[in-house]
Structure 1
Amino acid sequence: MSEQWGVFRYNETTKKFNFVPARAVKADDVWNASIHSYFNGVFIAAQNPVSFTDVKNHWGKPYIQLAAAKGLVEGVGGGLYDPNRSVTRAEFTAMLVRALGRDISTGDPAPYDDLKQGVWYFNEVVKAKELGLLDFVSGTQFKPDQPLTREEMASMLAAGISLEQLPITKEHMTLNEYKDMANVNAAFLEDVRLMVKLNIMTGTSEDTFSPKGETTRAQAATVFVRMLQILGMID
């Protein structure tokens, strides 16, 4: 089987095919797509090779191409992915809800004062709040256009891991190799530790984690692939 394949569910509302977590499983010498879905619908398994001209020499190329083939991420147009561009809170929230295969909420009130009905990410943010993925947000402002920091990303990913009830071993993971751990908000320290322990997130260099650094599009594609593979939801 081609590495760049995915399973997609037809969305009757948008008339588009959306990402569905799935793995290839062999039984009686026949390959099948094992689908992880919370709802029924019309599904297709398809080879979906994707490449971008601006990631050819980028460290994130294999993750970006795999994430794009599976429908986890999209390019920005013109055959480009723009891997080093920052990801906003709204963008990452929408991608995480879709990556976990969760249906979006509709008709619910806005959980934040600056979340307006009709914006493209409204339903995904409402669902993320409902699922407990937004505990890093303090106060009544979501700040959707603010770049997501790496420690905030760790918080969201840890919440996603908890939501899927992944069994976690109890051995302690040290973060001594990173010299900037003192910069981590204490509220996010255990989330960062878990992400490093599971190898979902790594440092931005051998001795730097950059907790206050902005999440990039390349990093987002990478952590989604790693998280879903650890959860056993994609190959």
Structure 2
Amino acid sequence: MFNKLTRLLLVLCLAAALPFPSLIAAASGDQVSNVTANYSSAGNVTVSGSSEGEQVVIQIWDANKSLVAFDSASVEAGKFSKSVNTGVLTAGRSYDVKVSDAEGGAYANEEFTVPSSSGNIGGGLITLPDTDTDTGTEPTPGTNGTLVVQAEAGSEGRATAVISSEQVSKLAEAVQGSSRTAAIQLQLPSGANSIAVTLPKAAFQQLAAGGLTVTSGIGSITLDAQSMNAIAAAEGTDIILTIGKADTSGLNAGAPAVIGSRPAVDITITAGSSEITSFGKGRVTISIPYTLGASEDRSAIVVYYIGENGRHQIVTQASLNAAGNAVNAVTTHLSTYAVGYNPVSFSDTAGHWSEDSIAYLAARSVIAGNGTSQFSPNAGVTRAEFAKMLAGIAGADVSGYRSSSFTDVKTGDWYLPYVEWAKANAIVDGIGDGRFAPTSPITREQLSTMLLKFAKHTGYELPMSGQQAPFADQAKISSWSTEAVTALQASGLLTGKPGNIFDPQGGATRAEAAKVLASLVEQMVK
């Protein structure tokens, strides 16, 4: 029994970790047959079948040959049945369920497609053919390079895992020559409330190019290249990353109302005896598992950063993900983060085409009304107001900006610190002759230019996913704004007016500004 279990664990590890799996089909082994797979809206696949052995290994792969999930099941009286958690699969996409014996020999596998009519939570009974062997080529592991590790249980719910240098090298090989993000998936023992994973510091050098994602059932973290380099520069030989459930009972006044019983995580990275809390210009994405409540508005789901004094501060770059099963937040430092709910509404936005975008930014304190419970969505937005919105999304501390670079931005003007912050970060240049024109309505091409410069300031690269055909009035776009308009249009953030008109010198409304800004934030934290 010990040898059988050992082989089973070896199969699981190799299937998930190697750049080219060693679970190669063989003519020998315990027969596997009568396999069925039933996907439910809860994100689980119930896999059942027959086997002559004592254990089977279950793998689920997508069409890109990425390992979606794997598990094992015991065989009793020749039968097995296991509910495997996959998260939400995509409608219309094909997936491969592979069930092998514990030695990685015989297996049954067949492609199935999630019905298009099922949205992203579709299902249906999929029957795989009876087969005990398959001499075809095994799927390669995830295109992102995924290492799956079973954590060991510890005292008081503190699980641990250790990643070896050899495992890191194999992970690096899987993503070598690309900018793909390497991934470590931590499987937690029952009852775990924290996981501490130890990695060699060299891992952060080997995997720096594409960054690293570490996932667990408690929470996840993604480190970009600059963050990886910051960790690699720390002292010591080993890095310990800890993800744990956080206690929010000691928060200051007001926090219980917005956080309530929603989850919170505490994430730390230590090198030797020193804790690494910031990463220079690096960006870190925190992901907290969460499902939207029955009466909750997804626009109002936010994330709060909890300081050492228990004070909660909103993280502006945070959103419930498209699958609706986690909240992602982009930050530059580590601490405790909690999911919160902060609905904000205005009396004049109900039913407006930009209602959701306005609610989204208002919940994050990026925009506010005019003091009378109204937002005035169709009113124009000024250049100074837009600079303030960008500073809000960046979570910028503007308290240090007290003097002006522009002749028409005076000491005492409410917008001085926001305009100066934008100037200092190469987001604005002014309109010439030393002027900024803070109270002038911002034009659509000016808004586009500031937005592209803001994206560059944050280190975010706009995707090339949208229409790139020129606007009908493309020739009217000023030369200094052509790059920005083209980039924003290609990213899907910018659309024209009826007739494919951009109207570059036309003014942008508050609703239009809210729409493009909310879309940008959601792209950044996707």
What TM-score range do you get, normalising by the shorter chain? Answer: 0.7 to 0.9
Conserved? CA contact 2:462–2:487, under 8 Å: no
Matched position secondary structure for 1:64? helix
Distance 1:111-1:9 versus aligned 2 partners, 3 A rule: farther
TM-score scaled by structure 1? 0.82
Distance 1:10-1:168 versus aligned 2 partners, 3 A rule: closer
Matched position secondary structure for 2:501? coil
Q: Write the distance in 2 (CA, Å) between the matches of 1:224 and 1:86.
A: 15
Distance 1:168-1:20 versus aligned 2 partners, 3 A rule: closer
Per-residue CA deviation, residues 96-139 of structure 1 (Å, 9 max, x unaligned), is 11112222151553111111112111111111101110036333
Distance 1:22-1:144 versus aligned 2 partners, 3 A rule: same
Give percent identity, aligned residues only.
Answer: 27
Q: Which has the higher helix share?
A: 1
The answer for the alignment partner of 1:79 in structure 2 is: 373
Q: Write the distance in 2 (CA, Å) between the matches of 1:219 and 1:41.
A: 34
Matched position secondary structure for 1:207? coil
Q: How does 1:45-124 map to 2 (within 5 A)?
A: 45-104=339-398, 106-124=400-418
Counterpart among 463, 475, 483 of residue 182 in structure 1 = 475
Conserved? CA contact 1:9–1:19, under 8 Å: yes
The answer for the alignment partner of 2:495 in structure 1 is: 202
Q: Write the distance in 1 (CA, Å) between the matches of 2:398 and 2:469.
A: 36
Conserved? CA contact 1:72–1:221, under 8 Å: no
TM-score scaled by structure 2? 0.39
Matched position secondary structure for 2:375? coil
Q: Write the distance in 2 (CA, Å) between the matches of 1:190 and 1:92.
A: 20
| Residue identity matched to 1:210 | D
Conserved? CA contact 2:402–2:411, under 8 Å: no
| Residue identity matched to 1:60 | S
Conserved? CA contact 1:105–1:127, under 8 Å: no
Q: Write the distance in 2 (CA, Å) between the matches of 1:103 and 1:142.
A: 21
The answer for the alignment partner of 1:149 in structure 2 is: 443
Conserved? CA contact 1:136–1:156, under 8 Å: no
| Residue identity matched to 1:7 | V
Distance 1:116-1:9 versus aligned 2 partners, 3 A rule: farther
The answer as to 2:510 corresponding to 1:217 is yes
| Residue identity matched to 1:65 | A
Deviation at 1:8, TM superposition (A): 4.9
Q: Write the distance in 2 (CA, Å) between the matches of 1:98 and 1:162.
A: 16
Larger radius of gyration: 2
The answer as to 2:508 corresponding to 1:227 is no
Distance 1:85-1:18 versus aligned 2 partners, 3 A rule: farther
The answer for the alignment partner of 1:20 in structure 2 is: 316
Conserved? CA contact 2:468–2:489, under 8 Å: no
The answer for the alignment partner of 1:6 in structure 2 is: 302
Deviation at 1:86, TM superposition (A): 0.5
Distance 1:196-1:10 versus aligned 2 partners, 3 A rule: same
Per-residue CA deviation, residues 141-184 of structure 1 (Å, 9 max, x unaligned), is 011111100000000000011112233567996343x2211211
Per-residue CA deviation, residues 43-78 of structure 1 (Å, 9 max, x unaligned), is 764211222222223211121122212222112233
Matched position secondary structure for 2:303? strand
Task: Compare 51-60 and 187-196 and name the one that shifted more.
Answer: 51-60
Q: Write the distance in 2 (CA, Å) between the matches of 1:43 and 1:5.
A: 13
| Residue identity matched to 1:5 | I
Conserved? CA contact 1:20–1:37, under 8 Å: no
Distance 1:133-1:225 versus aligned 2 partners, 3 A rule: same
Distance 1:93-1:209 versus aligned 2 partners, 3 A rule: same
| Residue identity matched to 1:231 | M
Distance 1:174-1:192 versus aligned 2 partners, 3 A rule: same
Conserved? CA contact 1:90–1:125, under 8 Å: yes
Matched position secondary structure for 1:46? strand
Distance 1:99-1:85 versus aligned 2 partners, 3 A rule: same
